[in-house]
Structure 1
């Protein structure tokens, strides 16, 4: 397909200057007049680090805010079982590890990812019964 495009292009264009303009526009993906109209995506700042610190302080610190009976009520498992699941999932699946995005910002931590996943699974199990 690209080969036929360039053949048509070479036969239709008469000067080298026109060929350079068309090839540069195609290489950029958009012509210069379309670049000015490009809209930026909206970014919503969510402080993942502060929320990670809060989650850790509330449930996993040496003296957590919420005791083990409240942890069990929220997560439907003991804290040591949760931490064991967290360690196994981190070592098995790299999706749950904390990464940086293309802008260099830190994403969710492993603990936040696992917590969210377990809550989603719990709500799905409760809603289907």
Structure 2
């Protein structure tokens, strides 16, 4: 989680998007630049590259969500935070066993870490 790394990767993604769609950078086309920036940001977040502000925004959202909704969140950071939350009990963790296999590797890592701490077998 580094804002500089995130910004660098986002810049690369923006260039990839522009090249793939044959779009030249136009300083006066703010809407287009904004949309490409949003698309690039979503792409790097899906790859697990986060800026500090992504983490802080996710934590703020996490604090305002019920744990049941946090566990189903599409946001990787929120889902990880919910997996290590003490409000998630052993039965809930056991219930997630099959669905967690469809998640990204980092989410599976934190699930396994929590299960290990609780003494739950995951294999």
Q: For this structure pair, what is the TM-score category when the shorter chain's length is used for normalisation?
A: under 0.3
Structure showing greater Rg: 1
What TM-score does the superposition give when structure 2 sets the normalisation length? 0.25
What TM-score does the superposition give when structure 1 sets the normalisation length? 0.24
